[in-house]
Amino acid sequence: MSNHHHKETFITKYVFSTDHKMISKQYLVTGIFMGIIGVFMSMLFRLQIAWPDTSFSIIEAFLGRHQDGGVMSPDIYLAIVTIHGTIMVFFVLTAGLSGTFSNLLIPLQIGARDMASGFLNMVSYWLFFLSSVIMLSSLFVEAGPAAAGWTIYPPLSALPQAIPGSGMGMTLWLISMAIFIASSLMGSLNYIVTVINLRTVGMTMTKLPLTIWAFFVTAIIGVVSFPVLLSAALLLIFDRSFGTSFYLSDIFIQGEVLHYQGGSPVLFEHLFWFLGHPEVYIVILPAMGIVSEIIACNSRKPIFGYRAMIGSIMAIAFLSTIVWGHHMFVSGMNPFLGSVFTFTTLLIAIPSAVKAFNWITTLWKGNLQMNPAMLFSIGFVSTFISGGLTGLVLGDSALDINVHDTYFVVAHFHLVMGVSAIYGMFAGVYHWFPKMYGRMMNKALGYWHFWFTVIAAYGVFFPMHFVGLAGLPRRYYANTAFPLFDDVADVNIVITMFAILGGAAQIIFLTNFFISIYKGKKATQNPWKSNTLEWTTPVAHVHGNWPGELPAVHRWPYDYSKPGHAEDYVSQITPLYDGEEES
Amino acid sequence: MTALFYILLVIAIGIAMWQIISIFNLKGVIATEKDNNTQGILFAIFGIFFYGLMIFSFWKYSVILLPESASIEGARIDNLYVVTMLLILSVQAITQFLLFYFAFKYRGIKGRKALFYADSHKLEMIWTIIPAVVLAGLVLYGLSVWNDVMDASDADNPLIVELYAKQFQWEARYAGADNELGRANVRNIKGINTMGVDMTDKNSIDDIPTRELHLPKGRQVIFKFRSQDVLHSAYMPHFRAQMNCVPGMVTQFSFTPNMTTQEMRANKKTIAKVEGINKIRAEKGEDIYEFDYLLLCNKICGASHYNMQMKIIVEEETAFNSWLSGQKTIAEVVQ
């Protein structure tokens, strides 16, 4: 494997690299770039929600022909809401988060020289890159990008007569997602094979850090569910382009009856959510793994209930594949199915509660090192609880009737899988930045970044629950058509102000990130005094990760503050001393 | 060009920030004891802010919430909602307190060793079994409400109404004297027959199409939903009612209104909400708003999704009957 002998060119080292560490950085930077666009879009539509009919030069500057005198059109409003959702869920929180940290950490933490297939890994990244380019290029088509919501329910997404974004914009969306899914599958298969086959001597499954468990299980859910979205997308392409009727039936639009007969949009909803729901766990599980690792390390304590944590990851993963129908309680499906999905959905609260309590117990009687990564991990636990609890309302079919598709849902999922997963990603970046770039990020900027972000995030999403409980549907271009919602306008202004604060706070992060790559303080080998294997590799990257032999593992990764050791951490490569009991 | 200006502005802010920080603390990268102390205290302060924000929001925003349910089934949903919310808020209050308190209390001190505490089956059993038992109760309660709301098979002389959705408008059709809706399909749409009612079906003749939804108080209404083009969702928040309208199929939902429009206007919560709205409207110089029940579209359906609505009027049964008898049947309209 070791590549010391032949020289690497710029192209093989930085562009078409097969080294997992470089690919991980490529994922991260692409993810951050997409994140900037996704967050910026949310700023634009928050302006519209708070101050409809008000002219903004920033809207005039960025939306071109889709605005009139600084006021965006309803069609482009729906389009940027759609693309915001798509970019954040898939491009930032799936590829950006899982792609970055699975690639970086799987080989390093299990003691492998690289991924099982470096080539497949490279192809996976470049397909992701291609799908990002196609998604972004859809922003520039004449009629605007896809605008049927990130869930792209047909017939709206199938008929350009229904909304302009369902023309070329939607075609590009579908092509982009099909390529994205191929990329995601290559990545996931690679992760699974690597974890199963390439663990170093002594690294049994029960000695794996929780990060690896989370990435491993995430990859399995991805392989199980993403192909279903691909088939859903393919059938939609057939309906759109070849006149089939998988999802369409009995449609009269713009004065004419369309030929479609016998299809059902409900079928699409089933197929979409069969991926769509596991997808939120594909997003959140890696963040959970990252947070578990960072909380244990910075508390200087073993993660509480290691085996229960693994069990709950598996329970959540299993349940995630049998709950999709809770997005469809009022879709017209049989109410009996609604009962079944209510039951399975509320079951997820049990492993989730176990995880939350285990994190809190890990903090108890710890010696907390308040590094920026730790702050974001604590923030993660807080938003995961806040957002997760309202799932008890939405998962209960009877209660869902009245809050379905309102801002209550928007507040719920942003807290539990949007903000939480982003916190997990930030935590990961702060923690593993020295491993990626050999330098450290600045902590003062990290603190400012955290506190602004956490205040802004709660400032946005806490009041938003009330907007939903007032009955305001999501995806409304303006609520000026209803005097009933006039008193919600003030709340929306508060939310938008916090959103702008939160968006602006990310400039702190970007500054810190990009300047630290070049100017940050040089990292030491194990800056956080961590037990896991990645901190036994040299600071400067070498192909094959360890210059000599691969390390052998003798203990689990959570021997922090173990009695009988002088230091408060014991690396996994340290053999047990005579008479030491394994934890 | 303006866009470029904004982008450059952001970059300039970033560089300026970096410069300011580097003057004070270029090399600060790992938390010191002092940082642990400061950040721990900040978590305690944030905990207080967090509870403050929750209490403030409940106090300040409870006036904008929907008034009590205007249907019998909705009242059951509201009870379930109150029970669930009490549970959620108590768990939220306890867990967030523990989280922020521990972050404050156990902030790192140099030389102190953390407690090596890796496992406790007893504790884990506690927080597996307690949630399981509580959730079992919640599931059973929830499902009894759900089945009650969704099952209209035992309705006694229900009123049958079709709600018909299209971009960006609602229409209604009452089943008429025979209380049975005639067949309909978009392929029959022609001229004034905008809902595609099949006029060869004898059940169709006495159907009554309307552009306003009137409902009688105290009589169960079974809604049949259809859509002409894309997905829509019929959302009637005051009755805790919602169902998607799906092209190619007929969906159903039912409820029993128990408060007339007049009664709801006299409701204490409604009065408070309407007062608040009218204060805002007065400032903007808009006319006075009077409360009405509404049917909204709650599934993204196109450009004017945000303005797809229909007024609902709930009245005493006698008033309803006289209104309905004043409407033309579809046979009269189409001819």
Beta carbons of B146 and A342 less than 8 Å apart: yes
Instruction: Identify which of B71, B103, B40 has the alpha carbon closest to the alpha carbon of residue B223.
Output: B71
Is residue B203 domain-shared with residue B166, that is, in the same domain?
Answer: yes
Contact B161, B172 (CB under 8 A): yes
Is residue B314 domain-shared with residue B275, that is, in the same domain?
Answer: yes
What pLDDT does A579 receive?
A: 87
Q: How far B21 CA lies from chain A's nearest CA (Å)?
A: 7
* B230-259 average pLDDT score: 97
Tens-place pLDDT, residues B83-119: 999 999 999 999 999 999 999 999 999 989 999 999 9
B47 touches chain A (CB under 8 A): no
B295 touches chain A (CB under 8 A): no
What pLDDT does B28 receive?
A: 85
In a domain, B17, yes or no: no
B46 contacts on A by Cβ (under 8 Å)? 451, 454-455
Write down the pTM of the prediction: 0.95
A367 contacts on B by Cβ (under 8 Å)? 106, 108-109, 112-114
CATH number at residue B215: 2.60.40.420
In a domain, B9, yes or no: no
Of B38, B143, B189, the CB nearest to A252: B189
Is residue B145 domain-shared with residue B164, that is, in the same domain?
Answer: no
Of B49, B80, B91, the CB nearest to A389: B91
Q: What is the CATH number of domain A21-536?
A: 1.20.210.10
Q: What is the DSSP string of A42-91?
A: HHHHHHHHHSTT---HHHHHHHGGGEETTEE-HHHHHHHHHHHHHIIIII
B297 contacts on A by Cβ (under 8 Å)? 473
Tens-place pLDDT, residues B11-56: 888 878 777 777 656 678 999 999 999 999 999 999 999 999 899 9
Instruction: Tokens for A101, please give them.
Output: 């940290």
Q: What is the ipTM of this complex?
A: 0.94
Whole-number CA gyration radius for chain A = 24
Cis peptide before B225 (omega within 30 of 0): no
Contact B233, B218 (CB under 8 A): no
Q: How far B130 CA lies from chain A's nearest CA (Å)?
A: 9
Phi, psi of B213 (to 5 degrees): -105, 110
Distance CA B206, CA A426 (A): 64
Contact A270, A324 (CB under 8 A): yes
A405 contacts on B by Cβ (under 8 Å)? 233, 235, 242, 298-299
Is residue B103 domain-shared with residue B195, that is, in the same domain?
Answer: no
Is residue B170 domain-shared with residue B137, that is, in the same domain?
Answer: no
Contact B104, B42 (CB under 8 A): no
For residue B246, the one-letter residue type is: V
In a domain, B204, yes or no: yes
Is residue B308 domain-shared with residue B260, that is, in the same domain?
Answer: yes
Instruction: Tokens for A500, please give them.
Output: 């702008």
Beta carbons of B229 and A252 less than 8 Å apart: yes
Is residue B190 domain-shared with residue B313, that is, in the same domain?
Answer: yes
Distance CA A265, CA B246 (A): 7
Number of domains composing chain B: 2
In a domain, B101, yes or no: yes
Is residue B318 domain-shared with residue B223, that is, in the same domain?
Answer: yes
Is residue B196 domain-shared with residue B222, that is, in the same domain?
Answer: yes
B196 contacts on A by Cβ (under 8 Å)? 252
In a domain, B26, yes or no: no
Of B128, B186, B309, the CB nearest to A252: B186
Tens-place pLDDT, residues B148-167: 999 998 888 999 999 999 99
A330 touches chain B (CB under 8 A): yes
Is residue B137 domain-shared with residue B221, that is, in the same domain?
Answer: no
The helix (H) or strand (E) run that includes residue A195 is helix A168-197
B237 contacts on A by Cβ (under 8 Å)? 402, 471
Chain B contact probe: residue of A45, A251, A303, A370 with most B CBs at under 10 A: A370
In a domain, B59, yes or no: yes
Beta carbons of B114 and A159 less than 8 Å apart: no
What pLDDT does A13 receive?
A: 78
CB atoms within 10 A of CB A2: 11
In the three-class reduction of DSSP (H, G, I as helix; E, B as strand; rest coil), residue A114 is classed as: coil
Q: How far A121 CA lies from chain B's nearest CA (Å)?
A: 32
Is residue B145 domain-shared with residue B243, that is, in the same domain?
Answer: no
In a domain, B295, yes or no: yes
Query: Which residues of chain A, if any, have pLDDT below 70?
Result: 1-7
What pLDDT does B24 receive?
A: 59
Of B61, B242, B300, the CB nearest to A466: B61
Q: Which alpha helices (H) appear in chain B, and where do they start and end?
A: 2-25, 33-61, 72-105, 121-150, 261-265, 268-283, 317-325, 330-334
B115 contacts on A by Cβ (under 8 Å)? 301, 364-366, 561
What pLDDT does A1 receive?
A: 43
Phi-psi region of A553 (alpha: psi -120 to 50; beta: other; left: phi over 0): beta
Q: How far A164 CA lies from chain B's nearest CA (Å)?
A: 9
Enclosing domain of residue B41: 33-108+123-151
Distance CA A25, CA B311 (A): 55
Distance CA B227, CA B154 (A): 26
Q: Looking at chain A, which residue has its C-alpha nearest residue B135?
A: A346
In a domain, B2, yes or no: no
CA distance readout (Å), A230 to A159, A160, B260: 20, 21, 49
